[in-house]
């Protein structure tokens, strides 16, 4: 709100599927993104790129093979973590990206922070209000869906979290 008051553009960046993430922490991040209503929002999936500490962790936990080089970006696949299967994280990431692209960022429509003319500002405010309500509505439906479909991994099969 303070940034908006002083006409400072905001960019919110979220990573889902990090070590320690659960269904509820991911849902809380997505809800925060919708409620925050930043000028631009981006979701990526935690990605154990070769040579990173996360790659060492993922190898140590058995989520990826030491020579696994198929990961090419932070938008397409997750190795999973100690709490969630990879396909569950990927589905939640796709849901967050749907909200990001279509409701939060509105595919760029009425997102020009440089325009200050009254007709544009009024149209932008209206779009912000409508899409904010739509985003919250879609988020609530998605939250109910994921809570009914995603099963956390049982504690016995969970690898330890890195320190």
pLDDT of residue 160: 52
pLDDT of residue 71: 67
Alpha-carbon span 50 to 38, nearest angstrom:
32
Mean per-residue pLDDT pooled into runs of 10, the chain (163 residues) = 87 94 97 94 90 87 78 74 93 96 93 89 93 97 97 70 47
94 CB-near residues (< 8 Å, 6+ apart): none
pLDDT of residue 1: 84
* Gyration radius of the chain's alpha carbons: 18
Q: How many other C-beta atoms are found inside a 10 Å radius of the C-beta of residue 86? A: 16
pLDDT of residue 12: 96
Do residues 87 and 79 lie in contact, with contact meaning Cβ atoms separated by under 8 Å? Answer: no
pLDDT of residue 72: 65
pTM for this predicted structure = 0.87
């Amino acid at each position: 709100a303070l940034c908006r008051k002083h006409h400072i553009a905001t960019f919110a960046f979220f990573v889902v599927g990090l070590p320690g993430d659960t269904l509820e922490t991911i849902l809380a991040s997505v809800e925060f993104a919708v409620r925050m209503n930043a000028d631009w929002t981006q979701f990526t999936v935690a990605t154990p790129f070769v040579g990173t500490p996360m790659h060492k962790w993922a190898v140590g936990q058995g989520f990826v093979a030491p020579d696994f080089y198929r990961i090419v970006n932070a938008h397409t696949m997750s190795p999973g973590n100690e709490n969630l299967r990879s396909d569950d994280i990927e589905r939640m990431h796709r849901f967050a990206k749907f909200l990001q692209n279509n409701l939060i960022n509105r595919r760029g429509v009425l997102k020009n922070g440089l325009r200050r003319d009254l007709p544009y500002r009024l149209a932008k405010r209206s779009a912000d209000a409508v899409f904010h309500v739509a985003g919250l509505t879609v988020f609530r439906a998605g939250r109910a869906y994921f809570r009914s479909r995603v099963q956390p991994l049982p504690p016995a099969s969970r690898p330890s979290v890195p320190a």
